[in-house]
A and B are shown apart, each in its own frame.
Chain A
Amino acid sequence: GDSVTQMEGPVTLSEEAFLTINCTYTATGYPSLFWYVQYPGEGLQLLLKATKADDKGSNKGFEATYRKETTSFHLEKGSVQVSDSAVYFCALDAGGTSYGKLTFGQGTILTVHP
């Protein structure tokens, strides 16, 4: 079945450091890929998405490129801020008969210190 694997966390960085959170997936066909972010005490909100191979999603300084050859969708940001501290989830929508279901990775906790 479909699955998403994220790098083990938690990740702790100093402000202005470079961030990479790895995400790889297993799916049949051509899934759409997402990064969702969950701030403390809140629900998940969409950070960025990509719907086909080589697409780059970007938002708020975060980027991720859909790499079909490596089945990856790594999240990157050049300079993190304290306000980026949150839990980040990689997810896929396999489409077709999955009827809108998102398959999530386990989540990566990011803490950014001043």
Chain B
Amino acid sequence: EAQVTQNPRYLITVTGKKLTVTCSQNMNHEYMSWYRQDPGLGLRQIYYSMNVEVTDKGDVPEGYKVSRKEKRNFPLILESPSPNQTSLYFCASSLLGRGANVLTFGAGSRLTVL
């Protein structure tokens, strides 16, 4: 089944404790991206990657890092989490090409930072 898999789905952590949210896709997509979803704000892009070893900032990159060492994986790293990073996170992927960019989303990772 074609899918984007995120882990963990739920996490409660404390301020300053480094964490990684993994994301993997099995569709051979070049493009991958991370979004965060907050009430009343919709989804906002954190980082994106056009292909292996190619990453760039989205609209809200502060406090986050990413890497793209393999085509299928795109982990999101919070080096020193803070309470304002409490949110619902989505990883997404797509084939970039002509026409509209249709994203396939993971199920989401709900992060709480105390």
Chain A residues with a Cβ under 8 A of chain B: 4, 32, 34, 36, 41-46, 49, 51, 89, 93, 99-102, 104-107
Contact = CB atoms under 8 A, between A and B. Distances in A.
B99 A100 contact: no
Given A32-B99, A89-B43, A106-B40, A100 B105 contact: no
Given A99-B50, A100-B33, A106 B105 contact: no
Interface string B32-60: 01010000111111001010000010110
**A interface, over-half SS:** strand
Contact of A44 (B90, B96, B99): B90
B102 A49 contact: yes
A43 B4 contact: yes
Nearest to B38: A106
